[in-house]
Amino acid sequence: MRIKGLGILFFFIWMATGCNSNADKFKEGDGMDMDSAARAYAECYENFFADLPKFNDSSSALLILESTRKVSITQFFKEEYMSPVAQYGLKDLDSDGVTELVIYNNSGGAHCCDEYYIFSQINEKEFDFKSHLMGSGACISAVTNTISFSFSETLGYFFGCYACGFNDSSANFKTMRGIILQFKKGKLVVVPYSSAEEKQNIVNLQVLKNHGYEKVEGMMDNGWRKEFAMNLAVWHYNHGKDWDRTKKLFDNYYKFEDAEKVWNEFYHTLKESEKENSF
């Protein structure tokens, strides 16, 4: 299952023919060329799985799915239509003495999606489902076992085009679109951001508020509302997904005529995302 040079070749052929997501992801914000994309691919996926043990016979390993149905890992790969870059490995993610089976896949499609499945070993042959993560630009660290998760896909079309982004002429605004996750006690949890990052999060919301209202032309603005949503999502997940507190924060900074509409869209978008993500 390990994918080295040929895997990367398949990856770029696949990007060009059916997976616009990764091409967009690697170019987004920093204009990566193909060499840079290859490095990003290696850093995010290859390095983590490179030396992890695998099964001698993958058909003998049984996965207990969220539905409690049991399937072999071979069958799981077939049923989930795993892509050419899909890979797996065995590692104790939280150093509790229990081995986890980590599976990575990229689903393909426009702007989407990196997937991680985490199963915990319960006996010699069986692994129980614990977590699923889906989103664009989800990267797992070989050193810390943490996963960086971006809301760029989840909120990519929030009242704006996917490539739209807010520009701040004062340079006080620093783009914040992601959170850090780690597997702990059988589930994915948020690693709280630093006090400096929390301060920047609030500075961003103040900059967006001070910017003033942007009209929606058709169904889109120039990315202003999207950055509100991104920063609110970052704050929300770093504060225990407390919807009451998140709503108060929103009301404090988004004091504009379409506040109810924007809030409802934000709330329902994150609620839909929760159906695909175990954090």
pLDDT digits (tens, 9 = 90+) for 229-262: 999 999 999 999 999 999 999 999 999 999 999 9
Instruction: Judge whether 119 and 126 are in contact, CB under 8 Å.
Output: no
125 C-beta neighbours (distance < 10 Å), count:
11
Instruction: Judge whether 113 and 128 are in contact, CB under 8 Å.
Output: no
pLDDT reported for residue 2: 35
> What sign does the CA torsion over 168, 21, 153, 133 have?
negative
Residue 38 has pLDDT above 80, yes or no: no
pLDDT reported for residue 13: 35
Residue 182 has pLDDT above 90, yes or no: yes
Residue 4 has pLDDT above 80, yes or no: no
Euclidean distance between CA atoms 231 and 79, whole angstroms: 36
pLDDT reported for residue 279: 92
271 C-beta neighbours (distance < 10 Å), count:
10
Q: What is the mean pLDDT of residues 121-148?
A: 93
Model's pTM, two decimal places? 0.84
Residue 224 has pLDDT above 90, yes or no: yes
Sequence-distant (6+) residues with CB within 8 A of 54 are: 1, 2, 88, 89, 90
Residue 32 has pLDDT above 80, yes or no: no
User: Mean pLDDT in the chain?
Assistant: 85
71 C-beta neighbours (distance < 10 Å), count:
16
Residue 18 has pLDDT above 50, yes or no: no
With 0-12 CB in 10 A as exposed, 13-18 as middle and 19+ as buried, what is 228? Answer: buried
Q: What is the mean pLDDT of residues 124-152?
A: 92
User: Which residue type, as a one-letter code, is found at position 133?
Assistant: L
Q: How many residues does the chain have?
A: 279
pLDDT reported for residue 98: 97
pLDDT reported for residue 223: 94
Euclidean distance between CA atoms 110 and 153, whole angstroms: 10
Residue 22 has pLDDT above 60, yes or no: no
User: Which residue type, as a one-letter code, is found at position 111?
Assistant: H
Instruction: Judge whether 198 and 208 are in contact, CB under 8 Å.
Output: no
pLDDT band at residue 85 under the 50/70/90 scheme? confident
pLDDT band at residue 270 under the 50/70/90 scheme? very high
Q: Does residue 44 have a cis bond before it (omega within 30 degrees)?
A: no
Instruction: Judge whether 232 and 173 are in contact, CB under 8 Å.
Output: no
Residue 41 has pLDDT above 70, yes or no: no
Structural element, H or E, at residue 140: strand 139-140
pLDDT reported for residue 251: 98
Instruction: Judge whether 131 and 278 are in contact, CB under 8 Å.
Output: yes
pLDDT band at residue 79 under the 50/70/90 scheme? very high
Helix axes 243-253, 195-211, angle to 10 degrees: 40
pLDDT reported for residue 37: 57
